[in-house]
Amino acid sequence: MKTSKLLFLASTVWILGTSAAEAQTLNWFSLRQEQRNIVTVNAGYDYAFAYGIGYGRQLNTKLPTVINADFTQPAGEQLFDDFKTKIGAQVLVHRINHVHFIVKVQGVFRRYHNEYVRLLNFGSDMSGVIGYYRSHWFAAGEFGFDKAIVTHFKHSDLYRADFPTVKDGWYKPATGGNFYFGLQAGYSFGSNDITLKLGRVVQEDFQTNPTIPFYLQIGFNRRF
């Protein structure tokens, strides 16, 4: 029972840990100071086919900063059965002409449910972006780390039928993180951006792959 429980914990954390594609992708060179609001819609493939919405607010700070909130859920019959939210900030920390260096820090809350368990997870997502940005297009590389810090397990009666002594509650699994790296690009026109992200995901031991080891996302931003 103990071995099965640990294997189950590891497999579910794999699912929770993959969330590379959901943050807003911005063309920092075309983002004007008076454009305080950024609305985003996106769709793509991460751990499943998913779609999402997001909102960003540009702050009046010395370093260009956008705080953002994103909501994503996989396509399926039951709305809000599984979902993922991110709240955080992106900061343009340095630029040399058209080369920009961006840092992203976000808190993550995820819900995952199947016939055996319902999981609620709190985590973090930190990444760095370096790219070449122009008024009408940009291309950049990104490297980040998504960590599932603490997870609440609520087991179903079906699972308890096989493991009646299993306990619900908060767990802090040791293997709950994924590194991700990839490319992002976009085309800007007027106050709009069309963006593309694609990349690879690997577990924090750099040896184990998640069930779906890649991500792809197409997005649309409206700045105003």
Listing DSSP states for 163-216 in one string gives -TT---EEE--S--EEEEEEEEEEEEETTEEEEEEEEEEEETTSS---SS-EEE
Number of domains in the chain: 1
Q: Is residue 219 part of a domain?
A: no
Q: Is residue 151 part of a domain?
A: yes
Residues of the chain with pLDDT under 50: 1-3, 6-7, 10, 17
Distances, alpha carbon 199 to alpha carbons 99, 141, 202, in Å: 21, 9, 10
CA atoms within 13 A on the CB side of 140: 29
Q: Is residue 53 part of a domain?
A: yes
Q: Is residue 224 part of a domain?
A: no
β partners of residue 215: 199
pLDDT of residue 19: 57
pLDDT of residue 22: 64
User: CB under 8 Å to 78, separation ≥6 — which residues?
Assistant: none
Where would I find the beta strands (DSSP E) of 17-176?
37-45, 49-59, 65-74, 83-96, 99-113, 117-133, 137-155, 169-171
Q: Is residue 220 part of a domain?
A: no
Cβ atoms within 10 Å, residue 74: 17
Report the C-alpha gap between 192 and 190 in whole angstroms: 6
In this structure, is the dihedral angle defined by the CA atoms of residues 165, 168, 169 and 172, taken in order, positive or negative?
Answer: positive
Q: Is residue 120 part of a domain?
A: yes
CA atoms within 13 A on the CB side of 184: 30
Q: Is residue 57 part of a domain?
A: yes
Full residue range of the structural domain in which residue 17 is found: 2-214
- Length of the chain as a residue count: 224
Which CATH number characterizes residue 24's domain? Answer: 2.40.128
Closest CA to 147 of 4, 62, 20: 20
Q: Is residue 223 part of a domain?
A: no
